[in-house]
Amino acid sequence: MRLRVEFTTEPFDLDEAPPHAVVAREVVQSAELDAVDVGPFGNTAEGTSGAVLSAVDTLLRKSLEAGATRVSLQVNVVGEGDA
């Protein structure tokens, strides 16, 4: 099964990326995920269910430790025609 995760961390800082956002991006960029897209207001990544769920666990733990007060995420099953 393939999954897609979309996430944001808060609080936002429009002047520079806060530490929690930097950590979250580093987690998904270093994980064994495909199609990672990092943006200023949202991020997405796809991969196998094991890789995505492992990355989400690490993402939550590390971004909260780095000062995030809120992490919003959505996980979707990606069908063959959705990739």
Domain boundaries, the chain: 2-78
Residue range 66-77, pLDDT digits in tens:
999 999 999 999
Task: Collect all residues with Cβ–Cβ distance below 8 Å to 26 and sequence separation of at least 6.
Answer: none
Nearest to 70 by CA among 14, 12, 31: 12
User: Which positions of the chain have pLDDT values less than 70?
Assistant: 80-83
Give the chain's mean pLDDT: 91
Pick the CATH number of 2-78 from 3.30.420.40, 3.40.50.1100, 3.30.70.930, 3.20.20.70: 3.30.70.930
Predicted local distance difference test score (pLDDT) of residue 67: 96
Predicted local distance difference test score (pLDDT) of residue 40: 73
